[in-house]
Structure 1
């Protein structure tokens, strides 16, 4: 290679290194100086047409039967080596070992890291990046992978269209503590300030995922932070995971976006990007609309409790009807028995009257016989008096 070619090559390498360094040196924020509205001025990809996150309108998703359940590999086999936990001033990060990966995507993707996004504890503010039908979750977990079939590492893959795959897991709060998330939350006090790192015990990363890995939304998008490379195959799971309110509060109030030596400490809050336009992109669903609606665990619990109450109510109504029917049956039987008894009593009275009348007939005859004899005696007396009269007249 001649000197001119070598000089041109060095100049190109130097310019690329300078550009990369300038990008890394820019301090961006979610709000304030170089906030979200100014990202595209310093990071051109942030103004692209395939940005993330997005609002998933379930009625506008397209069912794609070829989307099979994703399969985690090695996620529950964390080994004995500790994980690295860090605060980069924008989020809390757990670096993942390279033996972890996922199948069910066009290529094999190797795990790189996971991180979280959250709000500030205000009512109704949310904290997730992706939304479903315009509704935010309280927080969101991202598990980042790179295409290890085509690229050697994360840095090489992140600038390529098919380089990254990120799993989005929506998080909502409830009454029960999620032990899996305590593997992260219980150690965040060691990385409270930006640029701090700490080793934490390895844990089962798969326990952070929802149980149902077969129902999800898939679309092509970008990193949700600068430089916003449009290189991500997004998988947002339909099922949400739940943490307690106390766990969410710890997430929202434990970390600082400022460094430990900073004069003014700033809480790390509201570290989520607003949803971006789809721009004619299609969000695919691995399940049809008829196979289930967008329900939270609380809604599912309410449905189950309502169904149970309905069953109990139905049982009470059936029992009442059965008792009512039995009551009227018994009442009918009692009426029949009473009527029969009354009829039997009347029959007995008639029989008694008949017997009484029969027994009184001879007595009546005897009573009538003296009366019938009286005229005979009277006639005899008349005849006797007439005879006597005749004798006297003679």
Structure 2
């Protein structure tokens, strides 16, 4: 499966120093013009001061099923594509900001930087970039037949973004992928995954931020409902180095062209709403009609951001966003672990 249905004469890269990098995507192919001219592009910086609590956002539901998938090096990044067959189960995503629609998980992407720099996520939290980010992308199976059809249509796609931070141990499902990455060093190499549980790649929190955005690779179609989870997964420094071994070329070169860093630069928010289901202070009377509360104010967890900057794993302060009034989010979320 190709990340995009790009023609061979339109090579692209995440390296902005090269022709074909993010600044050129919308110029080399007219089908990718949204990459240059779109006003609802991704990724973005999640600014806690811009969050609006939306009481109508439901809990997010991701089927807890093992699936068969293929891990492939496509040159620009590693992609895990779900095997599609009537004999195999499909992982459905529903709830959250998705209304009554069901979305079928189609593929998973991993973005990362060079391990020593610890700068590899696409989305940032209050200006802080994490070492890596995993993205689960699905298509609206109630409205469209497949991912290719849905990616250019309204309410077509969902993207769940989970930041990855440095920790003492690696998430179990992420460890499976890391071990398999040794089999896909060069472009075009693939590895079968027989018992992947995608739901276990989600961090242990019910809280998230959501906004309307785009694919973060060409053609940058603005059809994605993004859901950014409020806690990270963890990976060891040693395991992050395994991903850094992936290369963009099909064979070994005397001067290796490594895949990392493989993230798109941030895009402007352009007035879009950042909605969240994080709420610890109800500012309306109990008999009031539910509404989007605009007087809730959030800020980045200062301990969490500081621990990221100095490379310390503090799991008890790992939530990104907290209420400025009583910082209740951390203790509440940790009860779920």
- Common topology (TM > 0.5): yes
* SS of residue paired to 1:191: coil
Q: What is the match of residue 72 of structure 1?
A: 62
Query: Partners in 1 of 2:39 and 2:317 — Cα distance?
Result: 40
Structure 1 CA distance for aligned equivalents of residues 56 and 83 of structure 2: 29
Q: Is the contact made by 2:49 and 2:299 (CA closer than 8 Å) also made in structure 1?
A: no
Question: Counterparts of 1:72 and 1:28 in 2: how far apart (Å)?
Answer: 32
Structure having the higher Rg: 1
Structure 1 position 56 matched with structure 2 position 46: yes
The two structures have a TM-score, normalised by structure 1, of: 0.66
- Cα distance in 2 for partners of 1:302, 1:205 equals 25
CA separation in 1, counterparts of 2:200 and 2:164?
13
Work out the CA distance in 2 between the residues paired with 1:110 and 1:21. 20
Structure 2 unaligned spans of 5+: 85-89, 283-297, 308-312, 319-337
Q: Bigger CA drift: 131-140 or 34-43?
A: 34-43
Q: CA RMSD in A?
A: 2.3
Give the 3-state SS of the residue equivalent to 2:152 in structure 1. Answer: coil
CA distance in 2, matches of 1:264, 1:248: 21
Secondary structure of the structure 1 residue equivalent to 2:115 = coil
TM-score, reference length from structure 2: 0.76
**1:264 to 1:289, Cα distance in 2 relative to 1, 3 A:** farther
SS at match of 1:207: helix
Normalized per residue, which structure has more strand?
2
2:186 paired residue number: 193
Structure showing greater relative contact order (alpha-carbon pairs closer than 8 Å, 6 or more residues apart): 2
Distance in 1, Cα, partners of 2:34 & 2:317: 44
> How far, CA to CA, are the matches of 1:46 and 1:208 in structure 2?
28
2:171 is equivalent to residue 178 of structure 1: yes
Deviation at 1:234, TM superposition (A): 0.4
Relative to structure 1, is the Cα distance of residues 197 and 302 closer, same or farther in structure 2, using a 3 angstrom cutoff? closer
Cα shift at 1:198: 2.3
- Tell me if structure 1 keeps the 8 A contact 2:66–2:195: no
Corresponding residue to 2:78 among 92, 101, 104: 92
Compared CA separation, residues 101 and 25, structure 1 to 2 (3 A) = farther
Q: Deviations over 1:281-309 (max 9, x none)?
A: 11111113759864448445369xxxxxx
Separation of aligned partners in 2, 1:25 and 1:153? 25
Instruction: Tell me which residue corresponds to 2:33.
Output: 44
